[in-house]
């Protein structure tokens, strides 16, 4: 029997049997939920290539198994099973973190970023942040500032102290001044507000990709960018060097121009093909 005949036999069996139809609908729902969480996990962790690979392998396997009449079609389930095992192996740390933090995961309430913000205020924020970073760098004051779009999990915000204040260089420098209560954690900035300070960030699990002379502060700044779509600005306590971290990568020796460009990219959307 070729595929066409097998498919028409399947659909004719289904149309006459309501119990079978209900069972198939339930099966589709169960598999949909399973695939939804798997694909969403890949998307949230920036692994879009795994999504493409998963879809491609599923389609190819479906074609091969359908055409091979001697093969047991239940073997098709090996494909999603392999991808689930691969995900658990590749993302064991993230999965463990998700399971342990399941009860308290919530996104930071975005209501504070929904009010209208104007260009002048944005430029002021950029200048204040750069001024603070340069002052802290000059005085070898260690700092981590996370630039978010309201996507930092609530558990990270809750690990620190909520500030909910306008951005000013004086406030930033005060927070990170040595021996103050909040100086040891990270500051979270969302749009034009300092959301919280003294927050604990996940450390980077990348053993080989980070220079050995970078300490825990830099690892925390890099680590948070590995799992969440944010940028980190880090000032080294030992050397005063300002670094920028994004997507698990760190770029050191950021000068005024680099900081201006980074912060402008954070605040402004590039419009390549703006239509009027």
Partner 1 sequence: MDKGKIKTDSNENRTKEVWKTIGVIALSVFLAVLTVVVINI
Give me the least distance between CB of 185 and partner 1, in Å please: 22
- CB atoms under 10 Å from CB of 172, counted, come to 23
Interface mask toward partner 1 for 178-197; x: CB under 8 A: ------------xxx-----
Smallest distance, partner 1 to C-beta of residue 272, A: 8
Per DSSP, 62 falls in state: H
Angle in degrees, 0-180, between the axes of helices 3-15 and 18-44, rounded to the nearest 10? 120
CB contact at 8 A, 244 and 232: yes
Using rule CB under 8 A, residue 268 touches partner 1: yes
Which C-beta is closer to partner 1: that of 39 or that of 93? 39
Query: Is 127 or 137 the residue whose CB approaches partner 1 more closely?
Result: 127
Rounded-to-integer distance, Cα 50 and Cα 56, Å: 10
Please say which residue, 3 or 88, places its beta carbon nearer to partner 1.
Answer: 3
Binder among 102, 119, 255, 257 for partner 1 (CB under 8 A) = 119
Residue 19 corresponds to which tokens in the numbers above?
A: 């119990």
Quick one: 64 or 216, whose CB is closer to partner 1?
Answer: 64
177 in contact with partner 1 (CB under 8 A): no
Least separation in angstroms between CB 230 and partner 1: 11
Long-range contact set of residues 249-258: C-beta below 8 Å, sequence gap at least 24: 249/209, 249/222, 249/225, 250/210, 250/214, 250/218, 250/221, 250/222, 256/130, 256/134
Which positions from 3 to 42 touch partner 1 by CB under 8 A, shown as an x/- string? x--xx-xx-------------x--xxxxxxxxxx--xx--
* Closest of 247, 249, 262 to residue 47, by C-alpha: 247
Binding to partner 1 (CB under 8 A) within 224-263 occurs at none
Query: Can you read off the two tokens belonging to residue 245?
Result: 């971290």
Among 45, 127, 135, 150, binds partner 1 (CB under 8 A): 150
How big is the site for partner 1, counted in residues (CB under 8 A)?
A: 52
State how far the Cα of 219 lies from the Cα of 262, in Å rounded to an integer.
19
Does position 114 interact with partner 1 (CB under 8 A)? The reply is yes
Residue 168 makes contact with partner 1 by CB under 8 A: no
- x-marked contacts with partner 1 along 58-87 as a string, rule CB under 8 A: xx--x--xx------xx-xx--x-------
Cβ proximity to partner 1, 43 vs 247, nearer residue: 43
Edge to edge, the sheet with strand 231-235 lists 161-166, 193-199, 186-190, 143-148, 231-235, 242-246, 249-251
Which residue in 137, 245, 240, 151 sits closest to 189, CA to CA? 151
Among 49, 99, 100, 274, binds partner 1 (CB under 8 A): 274
CB 76 within 8 A of CB 65: yes
Binding positions for partner 1, rule: CB under 8 A: 3, 6-7, 9-10, 24, 27-36, 39-40, 43, 51, 55, 58-59, 62, 65-66, 73-74, 76-77, 80, 110, 113-114, 117, 119, 122, 149-151, 190-192, 264-271, 274
């Amino acid at each position: 029997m070729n595929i066409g005949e097998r498919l028409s036999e399947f659909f004719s069996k289904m149309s006459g049997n309501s119990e079978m139809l209900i069972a198939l609908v339930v099966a589709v729902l169960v598999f949909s939920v399973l695939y939804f969480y798997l694909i969403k996990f890949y998307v949230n962790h920036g692994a879009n290539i795994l999504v493409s690979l998963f879809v491609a392998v599923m389609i190819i396997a479906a074609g091969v198994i359908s055409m091979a009449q001697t093969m047991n079609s239940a073997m098709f389930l090996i494909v999603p099973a392999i991808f689930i095992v691969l995900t658990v192996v590749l993302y064991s740390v993230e999965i463990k973190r998700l399971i342990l933090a399941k009860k308290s995961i919530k996104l930071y309430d975005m209501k504070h970023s929904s009010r209208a913000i104007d260009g002048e205020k944005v430029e002021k924020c950029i200048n204040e942040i750069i001024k603070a970073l340069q002052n802290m760098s000059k005085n070898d004051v260690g700092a981590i500032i996370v630039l978010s779009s309201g996507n930092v999990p609530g558990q990270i915000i809750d690990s620190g102290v909520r500030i909910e204040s306008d951005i000013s260089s004086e406030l930033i420098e005060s927070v990170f001044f040595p021996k103050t209560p909040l100086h040891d954690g990270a500051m979270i900035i969302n749009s034009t507000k300092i959301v919280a300070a003294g927050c604990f960030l996940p450390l980077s699990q990348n053993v080989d990709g980070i220079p050995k002379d970078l300490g825990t502060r830099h690892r925390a700044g890099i680590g948070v960018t590995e799992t969440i779509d944010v940028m980190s600005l880090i000032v080294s306590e030992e050397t005063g060097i300002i670094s920028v971290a994004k997507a698990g990568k760190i770029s050191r020796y950021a000068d005024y121009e680099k900081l201006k460009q980074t912060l402008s990219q954070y605040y402004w959307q590039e419009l390549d093909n703006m239509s009027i």
